[in-house]
Amino acid sequence: MAIDGCPFNVSCEGPNEWKSNSDIAGTGVGLIPREDSFSYAFGEVCPQSLTSLHRFKVLIGFMGTAYIVFALILVHYFVAYDPEAPPPRQNLSIERQVRSTVRRVLTGAGTVANAPVDPIYWTPNPIDVKLLAWLRLQTRNVLKKCRITLPTVGTARSERIQMGFNKSILSMCDVQIITGISILASGFICLDKTLLAIHWEMIVYLAWFSCVTHLSGLTVLRRYLQKESWARYIRLSLMLVLLLMLIVAMAPTAFFNWDEGEKKYYASAADTYTPAICFFHLKCAKGLYQKLETETPFSQTPAFVEMLISQTFIIVGFLARSFKLSTRLSEGMHRNLLVPLGNFMRRRLQRLEVLLYPTGIATSRTTASQDFNSLRYGLIIRPVLAAIILVRTQADLFNSMLGESQSPQIRTHGFTTWAEHQLLIVIRTPVIAQVKASTSTRLRYRWQ
């Protein structure tokens, strides 16, 4: 029976009713599904009958490349990343300032003495600088105790190592974004009465995993892509396509409250065997939820909250990477937002300190006034300073390369054999790309 308002010619209530059948064992009436009941996706067996081997193949095929990217990002961070190297926008900003000054002097509009000096002076991230300096010092001490001497790495060799990491991570990130778009495109194409809700959830999780992995790789390649305009535009465009497809695909998952910790306290509008297409129509999906007669509003269910958090996470991540990859956007944000905000906070703190400790009061203080001023300092100045330091530390951690080197997680239920046929393609492609990147870099430097 279809739900009122559902435009799809499918049963949005999952499998049909069970019918009585003779019991061969003679213990009573047995229940078997009717022959015309809901068929499973792609003509395959139901998810419960999938073997551990199928699960393992899906894990390797879709998540193996993502963890390879994560490993490359970590190795790049601890081995090849230089946190004190200025980005390309620093030199470009200074060059533009010099050209502007020369133009003003030649045209008679000004002199070198009164020329405005406002280039964007970049400062390294303190978390990256301190952490990498400590880790590399400890590594050298351990190797020294073990009597292991590391070879001296020159500038040319350092650039060669950096280029090798860039090419490897770039190829792996390309695989991730193509994989995510392919998964979602295949899911939308197969979105009919044969695609179950549990299969759709798995498709969304795999695409979300690819999206997060690609976003992490984009930040690592920030300095490389700032020099390559076409490569940056192509990848941002593909990332935008993946982002829009993923936001649309995540909408039905707001009705999936079937996890072990959720189904005990919240009702789920979707059963694992409900057709996924039913939840692409808002009226149909809400009709399924309202039919359960639950007292919990739909907007307070865990699945709905999880969907909003996931969508917000990837949208903010994409916008942050877009600003970081664009020289003009990042420079404009630094000039028009970060610097004025820092100056404003500094002036407010100075004003607050003057109000609490006016000039000339130090010579006439009594013990009571000193205690009162100390109390005001402890209740006002210190909490404000602590809040500012906390926010600044979190901002530095968010903008640091360490903040990008985090292993994404994914839930792994609802596998189908639909994915395992792509195992060889998904694994073989990044391996070939890695060999190609390392070989081409080595041959180019040898030729030079």
Mean of all residue pLDDT scores within the chain? 68
Q: Does 23 have pLDDT greater than 60?
A: no
Tell me the pLDDT tens digit for each residue of 251-297: 888 877 776 555 555 656 666 677 778 778 777 777 777 776 566 77
**Is 21 a domain residue?**
no
Q: Does 244 have pLDDT greater than 90?
A: yes
**Is 249 a domain residue?**
yes
Q: What's the confidence (pLDDT) of residue 414? A: 39
Q: What's the confidence (pLDDT) of residue 404? A: 60
**Is 267 a domain residue?**
yes
Better-predicted residue by pLDDT, 410 or 165: 165
Q: Which of 216, 193, 191, 218 is nearest to 204 (CA)?
A: 191
For 29-139, strand residue ranges (E) read 30-33
In sequence order, the 6+-apart residues with CB closer than 8 A to the CB of 298 are 254, 286, 289, 304
In sequence order, the 6+-apart residues with CB closer than 8 A to the CB of 370 are none
**Is 125 a domain residue?**
no
- Print the domain residue range for 412: 51-81+156-325+366-447
Total domains in the fold of the chain: 1
Which percentage of the chain shows pLDDT scores above 70?
54
Q: What's the confidence (pLDDT) of residue 427? A: 41
Rounded CA-CA distance 128/81 in Å is 9
Rounded CA-CA distance 383/391 in Å is 12
In sequence order, the 6+-apart residues with CB closer than 8 A to the CB of 433 are 168, 171, 172, 174, 175
Q: What's the confidence (pLDDT) of residue 157? A: 64
**Is 301 a domain residue?**
yes
Q: What's the confidence (pLDDT) of residue 241? A: 92
CB 256 within 8 A of CB 109: no
Rounded CA-CA distance 1/10 in Å is 8
Q: Does 202 have pLDDT greater than 80?
A: yes
**Is 308 a domain residue?**
yes
Rounded CA-CA distance 311/302 in Å is 14
> Which segment of 34-38, 88-92, 398-402 scores lowest on mean pLDDT?
34-38
Mean pLDDT within 121-135: 79
Q: What's the confidence (pLDDT) of residue 246? A: 92
**Is 382 a domain residue?**
yes
Q: How confident is the model at residue 372 (pLDDT cuts 50, 70, 90)?
A: low
In sequence order, the 6+-apart residues with CB closer than 8 A to the CB of 434 are 168, 171, 172
Q: What's the confidence (pLDDT) of residue 240? A: 92
User: Cα torsion for 188, 193, 196, 200, to the nearest 10°?
Assistant: 10
Q: What's the confidence (pLDDT) of residue 187? A: 86
Mean pLDDT within 55-70: 70
**Is 138 a domain residue?**
no
DSSP 87: P
Neighbours of 284 (CB within 10 A): 21
